[in-house]
Amino acid sequence: MRKRLFVFVLALAVCWALAGCHVPRKQSYAQPKTPAPPEWHANLSPQEAQATAGAPAAVSLKWQEFFTDSRLRQVIQLALDNNRDLRIAALNIEKARAQYGLARAQQFPTVTLGASADAYRLPGDMANNGKPSTSDTNRVGVEAASWEVDLFGRIRSLKLEALEQYLATEQGKAATQIALVSAVGASYLNLAGDRESLRLAQATLDAQKGTFEMIRASSERGIRSDLDVAESRSQVQAADLDIARYTGQIALDENALDLLVGASVPAELLPAELGSGEILRDVSAGVPSEVLLRRPDILQAEHQLKAAYANIAAARADFFPRITLTGGGGFLSGALQQLFSLRARTWEFAPQVTLPIFDAGVRRENYKIAEVERDTLVAEYDLAVQTAFREVSDSLGQRSRLLEQQQIQQGLVETLERTYRLTDARYKAGLDNYLNVLVTQRSLYGGQQTLVNLRLARLSNLVTLYKVLGGGA
């Protein structure tokens, strides 16, 4: 027994010495330097800075707190319950969790309990004494399958890789949820904006129909010209065209929302119009380091990078000897009644050390592949950080400009409303021609539609900003 143990230790030392001549140096994970400036590239207007001074950071605001409209919150919850993309992401997490459990289980030996019985008859012409005989063999014992002693961390590295992949999958699900929440919010706002545009077109059509009937009646009495009738009719037809266009767009908006939700959204949860009240909370941008540390897509890229380092460690461990142990013990007897006696005890122990001396460079190439995968993931991490920084900077810049444009457009619409009322009153009093009324009416309608679009753009921008700042998980 001592001689065998000495041979085993000697073989281990020889393999270790041979491996040490070719083992790559150990590499430890280090978080890449953030390739982004310390501040956002966005110059806020004084009004915007004042409005967001006390606003919470997006990363600390749950989506139920950001979306203040109760119907919109219910629609988002329906999407979270039914959306197929989110369901696939959840199943991917379950798969990654099982893979991690499998990698972790490989650290431990597999022990089984077995029992067997074997009987055979030896014919007389095969026996030395010329007489037939029957032999029995009975065995009961505990057996340990081949177990790798992880002295060099190969199995631990594979377990760490599986863990990081599992964590990356969880962050991927969070990123999918954020994208879904923001997409549902944006689609809901688009539907609300188009419904408000339809309401505005319908109100304009009703007013223009009334004006058209008045002008036509006046024309029949010889008070108004046929030109006034034709121009008024053209306004009615233009409004009819807008109504048909917005009606078709609303149908598309509803289909898009149903697809995101994964089911037909109940009519009572759909918005009637964009409304004048705010249905979203304002958010502050915070600082880049906070955002980059908490955005799920950034965290996902970092976990994948850590998994790549663990894979490199596993590839490096292949350069060392691989030690496996196989053993067992129990009872072995030819007579069943003596199977559990002390003299029937048996055991076996079979240690093994292996190291490829020549493999045509397979281990070296596997190690190079692991390094290239690591370098690729470093580049992807840098790209994710740079993309996040650009998304936030763009959204911040648009928020400031859109708020300013909305305020200016609101003042313009109020001016156009006063101009239209004065022009219409002058026309009805016979002091002005209908062309001036037509021009001011078109300007007012166009200004109102532009205001709706600007309000929709500002709210959509706020949803995008909330998303790119890492909110919504």
Q: For the domain that residue 68 is a member of, what is the CATH number?
A: 1.20.1600.10
325 occurs within a structural domain: no
Residue 348 lies in a domain: no
Residue 330 lies in a domain: no
Specify the pTM. 0.77
Task: Tell me, yes or no, whether 266 lies in a domain.
Answer: yes
Residue 297 to residues 171, 292, 377, 394, 473: CA-CA distances in angstroms? 7, 9, 13, 18, 12
What range defines the domain where residue 37 resides?
31-106+153-317+361-468
Partnered with residue 148 across adjacent β-strands are 324
Residue 14 CB neighbours (<10 A)? 13
Residue 267 lies in a domain: yes
The number of beta carbons lying within 10 Å of the beta carbon of residue 174 is 19
Residue 134, CA distances (Å) to 14, 122, 244, 331 in order: 48, 6, 97, 20
Tens of each residue's pLDDT in the chain, 473 residues:
555 555 555 555 555 555 555 678 878 877 887 766 666 655 555 555 555 556 777 777 888 888 988 899 999 999 988 887 778 877 888 888 888 787 787 777 777 777 766 777 667 666 677 677 677 676 776 666 667 777 777 888 888 888 888 888 888 888 888 888 999 999 999 999 999 999 988 888 777 776 666 666 666 565 556 666 676 677 777 788 888 998 999 999 999 999 989 889 999 999 988 876 678 888 876 666 667 778 888 889 999 999 998 888 888 887 777 777 777 777 766 666 666 776 767 777 777 777 777 778 888 888 888 889 988 988 888 888 888 888 888 888 888 788 888 889 999 999 998 988 888 888 777 777 766 777 788 888 889 999 999 999 999 999 998 888 887 66
Find the helix or strand (DSSP H, E) in which 285 lies: none
The structural domain count of the chain equals 1
- In-domain check, residue 81: yes
Q: Would you say 390 and 439 are in contact if contact means Cβ atoms under 8 Å apart?
A: no
In a domain? residue 473 = no
Pair 96, 165: CB distance under 8 Å = yes
**Is the distance from CB of 414 to CB of 443 less than 8 angstroms?**
no
Any domain includes 355: no
